Structure 1
Amino acid sequence: MGQMLYDYTKSSIVKVCKTKELFVKEVVKASKVLTPYERDNLINWLFFYTADKPEMQKWLYEVLDKKILVS
């Protein structure tokens, strides 16, 4: 079930990446339901996914600076 939740989280983030508020909300939800291993994988995936999206990358760094997603 863990992999399904991880995959669902990724797809949710892709769907809501249009606004900062929704992006942050999904990342906060992910930090509450994913295991530390899955959170680490999600962080790696987010860096990969936002590599060509500078606005989203800025949001990601803000989330990481606030230590929302860090286990």
Structure 2
Amino acid sequence: MGQIVYDYTKSSIAKVGNSKDLFVKELVKASKVLLPHEKENLINWLFFYTADKPEMQKWLYEVMEKNILVS
């Protein structure tokens, strides 16, 4: 069941890539439902996914500074 939530989270983040508010909202939701190892996997995936998206990468760093996805 956890893999389904993790995959859903990734697809949701990919869909809201143009809106900072929705991007952050999805990460906050993910922080509440994912297990610690899934959060780690999501962070790794986010760095890979945003590698060619400088605006999203900036948002990701802002979220990381606020420790939203920390286990």
- Give % identity: 79
Distance of 2:4 and 2:40 partners within structure 1: 16
Query: Secondary structure at 1:69's aligned position in 2?
Result: coil
TM-score, normalised with respect to structure 2: 0.98
Question: Structure 2: which 5+ runs fail to align?
Answer: none
Could you tell me which residue of structure 2 aligns to residue 9 of structure 1? 9
Question: Structure 1: which 5+ runs fail to align?
Answer: none
Alpha-carbon offset, residue 70 of structure 1: 1.1
**Aligned Cα root-mean-square deviation (Å):** 0.4
User: 4+ residue runs of structure 1 moved beyond 4 angstroms?
Assistant: none
Query: Secondary structure at 2:15's aligned position in 1?
Result: helix
Q: Which residue type is aligned with residue 45 of structure 2?
A: W
Distance of 2:4 and 2:22 partners within structure 1: 21
